[in-house]
Amino acid sequence: MKNLLITLTYDGSKYHGWQIQENARTVQEVFQQGLERITGGGEDIKACSRTDTGVHAREFCVSLKTESPLPPERMMAALNHYLPEDIAVLGCREVPLDFHARYDCKGKQYSYEILNRAVRDPFLKDRALHYWYPLDEQLLDRAAELDIEVTAMSHEWFLPAGCKQRNGHAMPRRDLTPGSLYMQALDMLETSWYTMVSLFPQVSIWEIGNEWNLNAFLHPDGFLDSDMSAPFTADEKMDIAVDMMYFAARGVRRGNPKAKVASFSPALSTPSLGGDMPDYLPVMYGVAWTLEKVYSRIKSGKFWSTNTDDYFDLVAWHPYVFTNRDVPDADLFLDVDEPDQLWKSYNDAAYKVMKKYGDGHKQVLLTESGFTDCGNPAWEARYAEYNKKMLGIARELPYVRTLHNFRLLNENAMLRRAGIEDNQIGGLTEVYFGLFTDPEDGCRPRARAKAIQEMTGSTADLEALGAKLAQKKI
């Protein structure tokens, strides 16, 4: 009996990842078939990792114990004879019997290539993302020079081979069994965060999730291709959210130990959007309701750590202003009430949850809040004043680090986006949050942009900035 370490390289274009699947061709299946023609089969192959559908590998290591009398150099030649042209063996050598390709792996490196030019390159098909818009590689460096704190986040994530979706807001059903699709997804989440954070060292804060208490932003794999009648329950979403925060935070800290991790940002809670808060409470108390679920899980001892620092350094949420009238969810943003002590109370309630669990020292990022006027000029003027009042209240909250206004531009594309509207507020409501009009309308400053400028004392020429933005010059 001897233990062999075999290094493979392969083009994954025609394969559904590395790991064997019942109804799909994989690299492991083809490699195993080639090995069986040499040894007769029966070897237990240990891989250093897994790759997803269509992913290539330059150096992919496997270990296997075999009774074959062939020396390593002959085994390498035989494998290359029987394997197809898109899989090759780069090396084969004998290693100690207790060597394991996965557990003795010292590290992994992932490469994401972008072809940034107007014309595609046929020779880079399936090798690089073709992105034809200009990349401003100096923007983050300039922000650092101006001492502008940059908070970044990612809405979506990747899913492993075997899932119905490749990426999006979906997760497999929670299954903590080693090697399950769920655990593979968490491993991929950590790796993707590590990769992204490594690429952007100028970013000082990473928000690791968006509104995972809502069905639109956290749902079962395949949910959008179904009748959307079987989402995760509110408690299932929070179990998964705690898992995802832990693994995402690990990736961020490996990618940049100096960066801060902000929690996923909960928002309102209504039954139709995926919450379970009693309907006699105003919808924005859903932030505090969700944080209670998050903290109680972390402190329960049933998850990965009882230390909240292992999940986040800062706490984020989305404190929108809604109408207090009894209206359908789609109308909550319409004809809203002026921000007042109730809006302050929403935020104070969430902070009290933090204090209850010993996190009163942590700062809060209000990472998304704004107003939509649905193109109504009277509402636009009114909400400009509301925006100033909201910022004024937030400025007096001692636990708030910053508030981010949603969003920079109107987005007419929201009217053309199909499939998810049944599980989120959409239509004209989503279009008219912008501080500026969209590019097809020249990125003209709207009333809220001018109101914020007045409040901050800025003297910038908003019309000129909007024109540059429309021409993609900033």
Residues annotated as catalytic (active site), given as ranges: 52
Element (H, E) at 4: strand 2-10
Which bin fits 274, alpha (ψ -120 to 50), beta or left (φ > 0)? left
Q: Count how many Cα atoms sit within 13 Å of the Cα of residue 347 in the half-sphere of its side chain.
A: 31
| Burial status of residue 398 (CB atoms within 10 A of its CB: 0-12, 13-18, 19 or more) | exposed
Helix (H, G, I), strand (E, B) or coil at 218: coil
Q: How many CB atoms lie within 10 A of CB 416?
A: 7
Beta bridge partners of 3: 65, 95
Q: Count how many Cα atoms sit within 13 Å of the Cα of residue 141 in the half-sphere of its side chain.
A: 4
- Helix and strand element counts for the chain (H, E): 11, 16
Using only C-alpha atoms, the chain has a radius of gyration, in whole angstroms, of 26
For residues 197 and 252, the answer to whether their CB atoms sit within 8 Å is yes
Could you tell me the two tokens for 84? 């197809």
Task: State the chain's maximal CA–CA distance in angstroms.
Answer: 84
Element (H, E) at 400: strand 400-405
Residues 238 and 220: their CA atoms lie apart, in Å, by 13
Residue count of the chain, please give it: 474
* 92-124: b (≥16 Cβ within 10 Å) or e: beeeeeeeebeeeeeeeeeeeeeeeeeeeeeee
Beta-sheet pairing, 87-95 with 2-10: antiparallel
Extended strands (E) in 184-310: 205-207, 219-220, 260-262
Residues 73 and 418: their CA atoms lie apart, in Å, by 56
Residues 448 and 436: their CA atoms lie apart, in Å, by 9
Element (H, E) at 64: strand 57-66
Q: Count how many Cα atoms sit within 13 Å of the Cα of residue 28 in the half-sphere of its side chain.
A: 24
